Amino acid sequence: MNPNRPMPPRWAENLLEHLLPEHTREDIVGDLREEYAEALLPRYGRFGADLRYVRHVLSFLPAATRESTTMGVILIGVSVITAICMFWLAAMEIVLRHPLYAHRAALDVVLGLVCLATICIRLLHPPRTLDERSLRGIGFLLILFGALAFFQNAGSAHFEGFVFVISLLLMLQGVLMLLTLGRIVPGDQSRTSR
Amino acid sequence: MADLLGTFEQSVLLSILGLGPDAYGRAILNQVQESLERDVSAGAVYSTLERLEASGLVRSRLSAGTDIRGGRARRYYTVAAEGRRALVDTRRALTAIWENVQLPIKSILRPIEVRR
């Protein structure tokens, strides 16, 4: 191999190799390396070519997350941590009895239960238990709760590092849920039954 | 009877047919972008190719790699008989659906506007 030959970003190519199943890895990585050297680099220059190459690599992410169990394992891990945090927060609210503690404790318990539901759904294989729309709904709900907690905490005078971490975990959990449980179909690929 | 093909699937199959013996992944990606006149991600094309192959509409074979690819093999695709049939069926169905529609399509929206 010629060491002076233009190469796509090494990290992106490694990521691509990681995302692809073994039986298609060799040809797709080769195709995109060829595309990078022969089309993207001469047309867009180094920076533009790198960006476009990374975009191609990221386009394999939805399929990879659907197929691999890695993201599912991460999702379960994050859900467990968040569930523990939420139940712990609920317990603290009840012990400390700040104003509106009952409402906040209830919300914490609900979120904890959502996390437990996420774990159960993931373990039981979602298509048999809930439809795609419900799963997407739960994912978006988690992102929404996470974002609300994040911005409310960021705007408050008394910044809570713990709430900050939980809000990030909730958002991550929502995104992982959408990626692993929902079906993301690129473009118009559906086949309509006659 | 076979299912109807989506627009993207038709574009991929027609690109393979158009490219003939040169239909490998990268060439198909570029051809699809050209025919749809928009940027298409590699993931969309390759996942479609994989699905079409799994349903028996296309076949693939590996060939030797080149230096620019770091020696990695190329996968060439051909449309199977089932794929050609699916294309013909889809075209026939679409033609039948559009047969009685007069263009410009605005004219068939007029009754709805009148009702308002």
Complex ipTM: 0.82
Residues A149-153 have a mean pLDDT of 75
Q: Does residue B106 belong to any structural domain of this protein?
A: no
Interchain pair A2, B69: CB under 8 A: no
Chain B residue whose CA is closest to A8: B69
Residue B112 lies in a domain: no
B38 touches chain A (CB under 8 A): no
CA distance B116 to chain A (A): 32
What letters, b where the CB count within 10 A reaches 16 and e where it falls short, cover A103-137?
ebbebbbebbebbbebbebbeeebeeebeeeebbe
Q: Which of B12, B29, B33, B68 to mutate to probe the A interface, most A CBs <10 Å?
A: B68
Q: Poorest-confidence range of A37-51, A94-108, A150-164?
A: A150-164
* A1, A16, A26, A33: best to mutate for the B interface, most B CBs within 10 A: A26
Q: Do residue B43 and residue A59 have CB atoms under 8 angstroms apart?
A: yes
Cβ–Cβ contact B22 with A under 8 A: no
Highest-scoring range by mean pLDDT, A81-85, A146-150, B86-90: B86-90
Task: Name which of A31, A55, A186 is nearest B47 (Cβ-Cβ).
Answer: A186
Q: How many structural domains does chain B have?
A: 1
Confidence class of residue A49 from pLDDT cuts 50, 70 and 90?
Answer: very high
What are the residues whose beta carbons fall under 8 Å from the beta carbon of A109, sequence distance 6 or more? A86, A87, A90
Q: Among candidates B39, B79, B44, which has minimal Cα distance to B59?
A: B79
Burial class (CB in 10 A: 0-12, 13-18, 19+), B98: exposed
- Residue with more model confidence, B67 or B96: B96
The predicted-structure confidence for B49-82, as pLDDT tens digits, reads as follows: 999 999 999 999 999 888 888 889 999 999 999 9
Indicate whether B115 belongs to any domain.
no
Q: Is residue B2 part of a domain?
A: no
Residue B93 pLDDT level (bands cut at 50, 70, 90) = very high
Contact A30 B73 (CB under 8 A): yes
Instruction: Give tens-digit pLDDT for A64-79.
Output: 766 655 666 666 777 7
Inspect the interface and report whether the beta carbons of A28 and B6 lie closer than 8 Å.
no
Inside any domain, residue B92: yes
Q: Beta partners for B74?
A: B63
Q: CATH number of the domain at B37, please.
A: 1.10.10.10
> Inter-chain contact B43–A62, Cβ cutoff 8 Å?
yes
Does the residue B108 lie in any domain? no
Instruction: Report whether B35 contacts A1 (CB < 8 A).
Output: no
In this structure, of A30-34, A141-145, B62-66, the range with the lowest mean pLDDT score is A141-145
CA distance to partner chain A, nearest, from residue B58 (Å) = 15
CA distance A36 to A25: 16
Residue B93 distance to chain A (closest CA, Å):
9
Domain that holds residue B19: 7-98
C-alpha distance from A70 to closest chain B C-alpha (Å): 19
Within 8 A by CB and 6+ apart from B51, the residues are: A189
- B52 lies in some domain: yes
Candidates B1, B41, B72; nearest CB to A30 = B72
| Residue in A29, A35, A192 closest to B72 by CB | A29
| Chain A residue whose CA is closest to B70 | A1
Report the C-alpha gap between A8 and A39 in whole angstroms. 12
> What local confidence, expressed as pLDDT, does residue B116 receive?
47
Q: Do A34 and B46 touch (CB under 8 A)?
A: no
Residue A80 host element (H or E): helix A70-96
Q: Predicted confidence band at A190 (pLDDT cuts at 50, 70, 90)? A: very low
- Model confidence at A132, pLDDT cuts 50, 70, 90, reads low
Does some domain include residue B14? Answer: yes
